[in-house]
């Protein structure tokens, strides 16, 4: 039997650094409230749905860039995440992973980090032009449905992945032979913050398994896929899912 949130939080946080205490908050739902100006022009449901989707995507992008803005606020909310991954398929839910820490030196007995995964339930937010759904949402604020899951990850699981980061490589082949068209596939990104240095790499994939569309991206795409698997496994076994009320 899976323990309750309170007992799980107590069990996971026992012996961890004081920085991670207060990680878990009661379950609630994530929706961003934004007032919209009154528009007396006549627009179709399809046109309004397209406008709403653009605004939802902008709100989700902001949440992915500032994962610490979602409640419950992590103890390291004043710091930038040291690692971020994102996955944005053309059709499907968008996901983002952020890792804070470890803040202790190698060899510290409680050298742990926190991972946060944000999922935009695009499958539920996408059908904005459905007349019945529009009637149900009439008068409701426009805000994305976000699922947030937090977990503690031991440095022993994270360190080997960080040591295996492929070396930064300029995509010379793609630059010399640019594609004649842009693939409508999954868009991925990796960001590593090392304090005085920050590395950001983005690429386009063609499958939900992070398969790279360009030869230059194969190494980083495979590494990101393995890291995502590690983080998802930790969240699946030890994570707590929450639904913040809003996005400040």
User: How much is the pLDDT for 39?
Assistant: 52
Q: Report residue 242: phi and psi, to 5°.
A: -130, 165
95-129 pLDDT tens trace: 999 999 887 666 666 778 899 999 999 988 887 77
Nearest to 125 by CA among 103, 140, 113, 110: 140
210 has pLDDT over 90: no
Query: Between vectors from CA 168 to CA 166 and to CA 169, what angle results, nearest 5°?
Result: 105
Q: What confidence tier does 47 reach under pLDDT thresholds 50, 70, 90?
A: confident
User: How much is the pLDDT for 86?
Assistant: 95
Q: Which two tokens stand for residue 225?
A: 């896929």
Q: Which has the minimum average pLDDT: 9-13, 87-91, 193-197, 221-225?
A: 9-13
User: How much is the pLDDT for 176?
Assistant: 78
User: How much is the pLDDT for 181?
Assistant: 61
Q: Between the CA of residue 238 and those of 46, 170, 176, 194, what are the distances in Å? A: 42, 37, 46, 27
Q: Which of the two residues, 7 and 178, has the higher pLDDT score?
A: 178
191 has pLDDT over 80: yes
51-98 pLDDT tens trace: 888 999 999 999 999 998 887 777 766 678 899 999 998 888 999 999
What does pTM read for this prediction?
0.73
Q: Which of the two residues, 36 and 147, has the higher pLDDT score?
A: 147
* Residue % of the chain over a pLDDT of 90: 25
Q: What confidence tier does 135 reach under pLDDT thresholds 50, 70, 90?
A: confident
Task: Give the number of other Cβ atoms within 10 Å of residue 218's Cβ.
Answer: 15
Task: Give the number of other Cβ atoms within 10 Å of residue 98's Cβ.
Answer: 26
Q: 3-state SS string over the chain?
A: CCCCHHHHHHHHHCCCCHHHCCCCCCCCCECCCCCCCCCCCCCCHHHHHHHHHHHHHHHHHHHHHCHHHCCCCCCCCCCCCCEEEEEECCCCCEEEEEEECCCCCCCCCCCEEEEEEEEECHHHHCCCCCHHHHHHCCCCCCCCCEEEEEEEEEHHHHHHHHHCCCCCCCCHHHHHCCCCCCCCCEEEEEEEECCCCEEEEEEEECCCCCCECCHHHHHHHHHHHHHHHHHHHHHHHHCEEECCCCCC
Mean pLDDT of 153-167: 88
User: How much is the pLDDT for 49?
Assistant: 83
Residue 247 near residue 104 (C-beta atoms within 8 A): no
Nearest to 193 by CA among 58, 57, 67, 24: 67
User: How much is the pLDDT for 170?
Assistant: 74
**What is the pairing mode between strands 240-242 and 146-154?**
antiparallel
The alpha carbon of 195 is separated from its chain's Cα centroid by a whole number of angstroms, namely 21
- Select, from the ranges 46-50, 65-69, 202-206, the one with the highest average predicted confidence (pLDDT): 65-69
187/205 Cα distance (integer angstroms): 6
Residue 122 near residue 94 (C-beta atoms within 8 A): yes
């Amino acid at each position: 039997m899976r323990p309750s949130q309170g007992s799980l939080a107590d069990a996971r946080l026992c012996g961890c650094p004081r920085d991670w205490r207060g990680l878990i908050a009661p379950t609630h739902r994530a929706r961003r409230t934004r007032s919209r100006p009154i528009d007396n022009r006549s627009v179709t449901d399809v046109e309004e749905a397209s406008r709403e989707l653009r605004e939802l995507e902008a709100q989700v992008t902001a949440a992915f860039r500032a994962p610490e803005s979602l409640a419950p606020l992590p103890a390291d909310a004043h710091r930038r995440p040291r690692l971020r991954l994102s996955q944005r398929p053309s059709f499907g839910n968008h996901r983002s992973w952020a890792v804070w820490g470890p803040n202790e030196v190698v060899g510290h007995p409680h050298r742990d980090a926190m991972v946060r995964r944000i999922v935009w339930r695009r499958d539920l937010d996408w059908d904005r032009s459905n007349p019945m759904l529009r009637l149900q949402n009439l008068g409701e604020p426009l805000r994305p449905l976000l699922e947030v899951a937090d977990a503690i990850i031991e440095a022993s699981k994270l360190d080997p992945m960080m040591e295996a980061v492929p070396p930064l490589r300029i995509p010379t082949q793609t630059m010399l032979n640019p594609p004649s068209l842009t693939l409508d596939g999954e868009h991925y990104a990796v960001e590593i913050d090392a304090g005085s240095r920050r590395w950001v790499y983005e690429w386009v994939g063609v499958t939900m398994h992070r398969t790279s569309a360009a030869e230059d991206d194969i190494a980083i795409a495979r590494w990101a896929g393995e890291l995502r698997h590690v983080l998802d496994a930790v969240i699946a076994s030890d994570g707590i899912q929450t639904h913040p009320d809003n996005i400040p």
